[in-house]
Chain A
Amino acid sequence: MPSITFVHPDGRPQRIDARDGESAMQAATRHDVGGILAECGGNAMCATCHVYVDEGWLARLPAMGGDEDALLDGAAAERRANSRLSCQIKLATDLDGLVLNLPDRQL
Chain B
Amino acid sequence: MSATSRIDSATPERSAPAGVPHLDVDPFSTEFFEDPHRIHDVLREAGPVVWLEKWGVYGVARFAEVHAVLNDPLTFCSSRGVGLSDFAKEKPWRPQSIILEADPPAHTRTRSVLAQVLSPTAMKQVREHFTAMAAAKVDELLTRRSFDAVADLAEAYPLSVFPDAMGLKQEGRENLLPYASLVFNAFGPPNQLRQEAIERSAPHQAYVAAQCQRENLTPGGFGACIHARADAGDITAEEAPLLVRSLLSAGLDTTVNGIGAAMYCLARFPDQLALLRSDPTLARNAFEEAIRFESPVQTFFRTTTREVELAGYRIGEGEKVLMFLGAANRDPRRWENPDRYDVTRRTSGHVGFGSGIHMCVGQLVARLEGEVMLAAIARKVASIEISGPVKRRYNNTLRGLESLPITISPA
Seen from chain A, the residues whose Cβ lies within 8 Å of a Cβ on chain B are 29, 32, 37-43, 45-47, 67, 70-71, 73-76, 107
Contacts and interface: CB of A to CB of B under 8 A. Distances in A.
Interface stretch (B115-123, B231-239, B335-343): B115-123
Given A29-B346, A39-B288, A41-B348, A74 B367 contact: no
Interface in B86-124: 112, 115-116, 119-124
A39 B115 contact: no
Given A40-B363, A45-B359, A45-B364, A70 B119 contact: yes
A73 B349 contact: no
A62 B115 CA distance: 23
Nearest to B347: A39
A74 B350 contact: no
Interface of B: 112, 115-116, 119-124, 284, 288, 346, 348-350, 353, 355-357, 359, 361, 363-364, 367
Contacts of B124: 74
13 contacts: A38-B349, A39-B348, A40-B363, A41-B348, A43-B355, A45-B361, A45-B364, A46-B364, A67-B112, A71-B119, A74-B119, A74-B123, A74-B124
Cβ-closest 4 pairs across A and B: A74-B120, A74-B121, A38-B348, A41-B349
A46 B363 contact: yes
A96 to B, nearest CB: 24
B359 A29 contact: no
A43 B348 CA distance: 11
Contacts of B363: 39-40, 45-46
B115 A67 contact: yes
A45 to B, nearest CB: 6
B120 A75 contact: yes
Contacts of B123: 74
A32 B288 CA distance: 17
B348 A71 contact: no
A76 B356 CA distance: 23
B363 to A, nearest CB: 6
B345 to A, nearest CB: 11
Nearest to B284: A107
B359 A43 contact: yes
Contacts of B359: 40-41, 43, 45
A82 B359 CA distance: 28
A74 B119 CA distance: 7
A73 B121 contact: yes
B341 to A, nearest CB: 18
Contacts of A74: 119-124
B362 to A, nearest CB: 10
B355 A45 contact: no
B355 A41 contact: yes
A76 B123 CA distance: 11
A10 B115 CA distance: 33
B288 to A, nearest CB: 7
A66 to B, nearest CB: 8
A76 to B, nearest CB: 8
B397 to A, nearest CB: 21
A67 B357 CA distance: 12
Given A29-B348, A107-B284, A43 B356 contact: yes
Q: Which of B112, B120, B121, B288 is most buried by chain A, counting CB atoms within 10 A of its CB? A: B120
Contacts of A46: 120, 363-364
A103 B361 CA distance: 25
A50 B123 CA distance: 17
B68 to A, nearest CB: 14
Contacts of B115: 45, 67
B355 A29 contact: no
Given A32-B346, A41-B359, 13 more contacts: A29-B346, A38-B348, A39-B367, A40-B363, A41-B348, A41-B349, A43-B355, A45-B359, A45-B364, A46-B120, A71-B120, A74-B122, A74-B123
